[in-house]
Structure 1
Amino acid sequence: MRVDFAPLRIPFRRRLQTGAVLQWVFSFLALAQCCTALFIVLLFTRCWFVSVLYATWWYWDRNTPYQGGRRSHFLRSVKVWNYFRDYFPIRLIKTADLDPKKNYIFGFHPHGVLVAGAFANFCTEVTGFSYLYPGLKPHMLMLPLWFRIPFFRDYIMSAGLVPSDKESAKYLLRRAEGGNAVVIAIGGAPEALDARPGASTLLLLNRKGFVKLALQYGSPLVPVFSFGENELFDQVSNPKGSVLRRIQERLQAIMGISLPLFHARGILQYSFGLVPYRKPIHTVVGKPIEVEKKENPTQAEINELHQKYIEELSKLFEEHKTKYKVPEDKHLSFI
């Protein structure tokens, strides 16, 4: 295979951008494992008390992730995220005002491999969420597994991440004074297995839990489509029914996380590696779908709102796709 090396003379700013993205990929793929190893290793050194003190703190603080987490404006705003944003680049596009006295559910699509657009827009301040939507705090949902890992849990909470657990979401949505935006990557881990350039199929038809939550708390639904999310990585062919896909689905059922075999470019060359391609991401936040509160919604009411959500998401995609170089004949499909 021919290796396409990067030029030796590259602006230092671009190298900083690549470094910022590299640490983000590392955080997704290996930081949790490193934190676990550190916690265990410290127990067998003269610094054993660090792990013991942390374990004590951890027990006392165990419910925090399920009660809104512990975000840090400082860590959400550090300059490294500016370089991360500019690498692709990533932009957040507003289409309607949102009332900060209400709580919202944002449905984020597509999941992509590593949800880069969702992270930049809702877990950092560098694309202007707080400026575009004053008074709203985004809380992105993440698998509860990651909040059971020492040190790592505190790092991800600082970004505004909370567990993708019903009680966690309910805590935010029941806030009477409003001001919360619960961000859910609806397709979740299974959708990541189909994330590749050109993909436009969303795992949504049987995902109705977020709709039921919206009805129970009267929280408006906001469709969000991130153009370019699937363009960042290639993925080893894994059609449904293939041996690889069956293994991935089995592991996903056991572990709760999917393991897409993705690849893109490297640090000093463009031919292979785990660094995403420099492809622009435009995350478009749609208009809110007003929801009438029903503490015990019927299945018919859930289905009706779910269908309306699909229609509004499709409309959002169709209205904006040509602006972001999506072919006119490309349409969303749902499974």
Structure 2
Amino acid sequence: MPMREQLYVAAAAYATWFASTLHHKDSISDWGSEKLAALISAALRRGGQALGIDSKMVLDGIEPEEFQRLRPVVMTILPHGAFMLGSLCLHLGRMRHDERVRPLRALAAGASVLLHIPGLRELLLLVGVRDANSATVDAAVTSGRSVVLNPGGVWEQVNTSHEREALYVQPSLGFIRLALRHGTPLLPMYGFGETQLWRTHGAFLKHRQWAAEHLRVGLPLVSGRLGTILPLALPYGHTLVVGKPIDVGPPNPSPSDADVQRVFELWSAEVHRIFDAHKHECLPPEVAAQGLTIEIRAARDASTSTEPPRSRL
């Protein structure tokens, strides 16, 4: 069979398989071989080392044996950074095979569009990423699986700066409401070095903010090594710090705004604690000196609506 025909057959076979397995993006079961997932995760970390990006995970304030008792938990991974590539490639795979956090049986919620890209979809499914829709996330927690969420989303992606550490939380505080509804602890994690993987640029920021606000599309403007898209070397490495779990109380199907605000303040305090404890070791001095800001975005219709913002989760 000529090469062109072989390519056509291979493409048709993959397209058929892709369509028949599209529903896997909403599955709460593990996908693929655990051994393969561990090999891919290790290969990604070795690739990071080859680029001058050493990575490690640190538990600060919790012992591994506590995770079995706590499960499920709602984990927040911060910050988003330009592409969240460091946390995705260097650390998410650990949730499946690292003996310290494996008992959490965590699945990560990711943008739906990423799970429709051939090749990337398989990688994401393998390391535990699923579609970030409310039905899938709720089903995961209900089944006893932990979930990993990024509260900042595309707005934080667009506003990321390599010169400072800032978190932009959605006004719905959906991750807080999710934890309250299920009565599951919140577990903050901070990825030091994520925002320094690329140099960020402020050109067309207003236009990119408009796209993030109205189209929910993140358009970061960055440059990397030698002006390319390759990430920069990190002298301080990429360190994922797992903080202390935050008890939110028993399940609360309809949490009040006061309930949400109370837990948000506890969460913010723990994020600041782990940031302050590790910033000097894990960040450039000029970035660490500025500290961390956490901002709740104003709701789009805040000037016209009297209803509280609805949770995206």
Q: Find out whether 1:223 has 2:180 as its counterpart.
A: no
Aligned 8 A contact 1:205 1:334 in 2: no
Query: In structure 2, which of residues 179, 185, 191 is the aligned counterpart of residue 214 of structure 1?
Result: 179
Q: What's the TM-score once normalised by structure 2's chain length?
A: 0.79
1: CA distance, partners of 2:130 / 2:247 = 24
Look up the match of 2:89. 120
Report the TM-score when normalising by structure 1.
0.74
How far does residue 174 in structure 1 lie from its aligned partner after superposition?
Answer: 0.5
CA distance in 1, matches of 2:223, 2:200: 6
1:32 alignment partner in structure 2: none
2:80 is paired with a residue whose SS is coil
Aligned residue in 2 for 1:284? 241
Counterpart selection for 2:39 from 63, 70, 77:
77
Quote the sequence identity (%): 19
Q: Distance in 1 between matches of 2:228 and 2:19?
A: 39
Task: Kindly indicate whether residue 37 of structure 2 is the aligned counterpart of residue 92 of structure 1.
Answer: no
Q: Aligned letter for 2:177?
A: K
Indicate the residue corresponding to 1:64 in structure 2. 24
**CA shift in 2, pair 1:207/1:194, >3 Å:** same
Instruction: Give the structure 2 partner of residue 9 of structure 1.
Output: none
Deviation per residue, 1:164-199 (Å, 9 max, x gap): 111121111001xx3x33111221121122223221
Q: Which residue of structure 1 lines up, in the alignment, with residue 229 of structure 2?
A: 274
Partners of 2:161 and 2:38 in 1: CA distance: 28
Q: Secondary structure at 2:246's aligned position in 1? A: coil
The 1-side partners of 2:158 and 2:132 are apart by: 19
Q: CA–CA distance in 1 between the matches of 2:114 and 2:199?
A: 25
Give the secondary structure class of the aligned counterpart of 1:132.
coil
Unaligned runs of 5+ in 2: 296-313
Partner of 1:308: 266
For structure 1, the 5+ residue unaligned runs are: 1-43, 239-243, 267-271
Q: Which amino acid aligns with 1:115?
A: M
Structure 2 residue 289 is matched with structure 1 residue 296 = no
Name the structure 2 match of 1:30: none
Residues 319 and 148 of structure 1: CA distance in aligned 2, closer, same or farther (over 3 Å) = same
Shift of 1:131: 2.1
Q: CA RMSD in A?
A: 2.7
Contact 2:192-2:238 within 8 A present in 1 as well: yes
Q: How many Å separate the matches in 1 of 2:271 and 2:151?
A: 12
Q: Using a 3 Å threshold, how does the CA distance of structure 1 residues 84 and 185 change in structure 2: closer, same or farther? A: farther
What amino acid is the match of 1:333? T
CA spacing shift, 1:200–1:150, aligned 2, 3 Å: closer
Distance 1:113 1:187, change over 3 A: same
1:116: Cα distance to partner?
3.1
What is the identity, as a one-letter code, of the residue corresponding to 1:311? A
